[in-house]
Amino acid sequence: MRILKVAAFAVSGYASSIGRSCKPFNPLLGETYEADFPEKGIRFISEKVSHHPMLIACHCEGKGWKFWGDSNLTSKFWGQSIQLDPVGVLTLEFDDGEIFQWSKVQGYVEDVKGEKKLPPTDSRLRPDQRHLENGEYEKANAEKLRLEKRQRMVCV
């Protein structure tokens, strides 16, 4: 019965992507997400530890188990489709010593139509990115710090 619950947990992460036609949230380097539910005995933390390649690491503990992993995604553009190749291993260990490990599955996005106009949420439109590309490193850093502060204020 345990393996069925682990399998359900492993595929549950895909539920939020059904019908989503926009990019997922992409945290800034060093940003963390932390959740603590003492009444349920669960603590979770994740952090974006690398930007290129993008790498997000996480650790979670609950009553009788620990979960950890890292997640990265490589992609290949094939003209009218995109191939998504997840990289990384997820591990779930129970207190009795039983360990389950898995990797996310490869995915495809079909019928990709390129548009010249970028969506307003595209990271290439961020002002700090513009400064960085123009070699204005101090302005880029100041702007990124401003954006991080603003983002944290919204998340509170």
State how far the Cα of 84 lies from the Cα of 104, in Å rounded to an integer.
Answer: 10
- Cα of 110 vs its chain's centroid, Å: 22
Q: What is the pLDDT of residue 118?
A: 64
Q: What is the pLDDT of residue 113?
A: 64
What predicted TM-score, i.e. pTM, was given to this entire model? 0.62
Residue by residue, pLDDT tens for the chain (156 residues) are: 899 999 998 888 777 666 665 555 667 888 888 899 999 999 999 998 888 788 889 999 999 999 999 988 888 877 777 788 888 899 999 999 999 999 888 887 777 665 556 666 666 678 887 887 788 888 988 988 888 888 888 765
Q: How many helices (H) and strands (E) does the chain have?
A: 3, 8
Q: What is the pLDDT of residue 148?
A: 84
Q: What is the pLDDT of residue 24?
A: 59
